[in-house]
Chain A
Amino acid sequence: SEAYMPVSAGLGSEENFLSLEDIIMSHEKLPCRLEMTLPRLGFLDKSGESDSIPEGTKMELPLWLAKGLYDKKRKIVSVELPKIYKEGWRTVFNADANVVDLHRLGPYYYSFGCQLLNFDSPENPEIAQTLLQTFVGRFRRIMDSSQNAYNEDTSGLVSRLDELERILFHAGQKGLNEFQRWEKGQ
């Protein structure tokens, strides 16, 4: 319905507390390494033999938990980069971002990528640059396809888009449909 205005996702490395989008995005997993033992939480670890999760354990934690445990002073966890934000993939994105299926690799490639800037990795500047370049590199094609797909099935056009790009595509489609209706005096 037109009148329903959900709380939008936060911008950049911010999250909006009440945004459903941000809550679901922040559930995406991140490779982490425990820098301290976690007593009495052994049942959470796959092996689950001992009563605690030992220091040095590598585990995939949801972003919201990694952010909560990542404290510059008392570092309970250290965070590694997911592979699609590492140099190898950054080279692919910088070569030609249009060939990448961002839905399969994401689907929160941009918003999750911005969240990684909360962890002080030395590669942050390169990550930020690649996020921006990728968006710019793909924007043109998204805008053109959303402006030219009138009254046709668009699932093929959005299947390789990340969530942010899909919202952009649908905004373009909304504008196109409203314009067409206006032209017909509807």
Chain B
Amino acid sequence: MFCEKAIELIRELHRSGDGSLPAFNEDGVRQVLEEMKALYEQNQTDVHEAKSDGRSDLIPTITFRHCCLLRNRRCIVSYLYDRLLRIRALRWEYGSVLPSALRFQMSADEMVWFNQYKKSLATYMRSLGGDEGLDVTQDLTPPKS
């Protein structure tokens, strides 16, 4: 059945529900994108035939494949987005320099996103509390006293 690879990506991420960051599944993402390409090409052929030869009986099949395309897109984007939420949390847990073990779990593109996020956060923190700025990632829990 279509979209099996896509749901596997989501399940893999959902299993580490505590927010830990599993390795980026490059191969899984590529396979889903390949399935989407194949679905789209089949649909383009059938849409052309439905139009030029009046094959309206193909419309349910075209709809079926389009549902699968939308499903694959939802899974891919949610997989990538949830990983960004985990990576964002790392900045608040570990500070701006991540342990290498965590960096190895991230793709190159995720590292670019993370560096940009750090810059945005730093710009925001400099805008707080007068000249020195304010590090809002410190003292997230009340001091013992």
* Contacting pair A18 B82 (CB below 8 A): yes
Query: Could you give 20 example pairs across A and B, Cβ below 8 Å?
Result: A1-B20, A1-B89, A6-B82, A7-B82, A7-B85, A18-B78, A19-B78, A23-B74, A23-B75, A37-B57, A38-B60, A38-B64, A39-B61, A40-B46, A65-B67, A65-B68, A68-B67, A69-B63, A71-B63, A76-B63
Contacts of A6 in B (CB 8 A): 19, 82, 85
Given contact pairs A1-B18, A24-B11, A44-B1, A7 touches B81 in the complex (Cβ within 8 A): yes
- Please encode chain B, from 75 to 95, with 1 for each CB lying within 8 Å of some chain A CB and 0 for all others: 101100110011011111100
5 closest Cβ contacts across the A-B interface? Answer: A4-B19, A68-B67, A3-B89, A3-B92, A4-B89
Distance (whole angstroms) from the CB of B89 to the closest CB of chain A: 4
A36 adjacent to chain B (CB < 8 Å):
yes
Closest to B137 in A: A3
Closest to A39 in B: B61
B71 adjacent to chain A (CB < 8 Å):
yes
Given contact pairs A5-B85, A6-B85, A7-B81, A38 touches B61 in the complex (Cβ within 8 A): yes
* Contacting pair B93 A41 (CB below 8 A): no
Most chain B beta carbons < 10 A, residue from A23, A27, A36: A23
Number of A residues contacting the other chain (C-beta, 8 Å)? 31
Q: Which of A16-30 contact B (CB under 8 A)?
A: 17-21, 23-24, 27
Contacts of B88 in A (CB 8 A): 3
In the assembled complex, the Cα of A21 lies from the Cα of B10 at a distance in Å of 9
* Contacting pair B89 A17 (CB below 8 A): no
Closest to A1 in B: B19
* Contacting pair B10 A68 (CB below 8 A): no
Q: How large is the interface on B (under 10, 10 to 19, 20 to 34, 35 or more residues)?
A: 35 or more
* Contacting pair B63 A20 (CB below 8 A): no
Chain A residues with CB under 8 Å of chain B are: 1-7, 17-21, 23-24, 27, 36-41, 44, 52, 62, 64-65, 68-69, 71, 74, 76
* Contacting pair B64 A76 (CB below 8 A): yes
* Contacting pair B85 A4 (CB below 8 A): yes
Contacts of A19 in B (CB 8 A): 78
Contacts of B78 in A (CB 8 A): 7, 17-20, 23
Contacts of B106 in A (CB 8 A): none
- Please encode chain B, from 1 to 25, with 1 for each CB lying within 8 Å of some chain A CB and 0 for all others: 1110001001101100011100000
* Contacting pair B74 A69 (CB below 8 A): no
Most chain B beta carbons < 10 A, residue from A20, A52, A62, A68: A20
Given contact pairs A1-B93, A23-B10, A24-B11, A17 touches B64 in the complex (Cβ within 8 A): no
* Contacting pair A37 B60 (CB below 8 A): yes
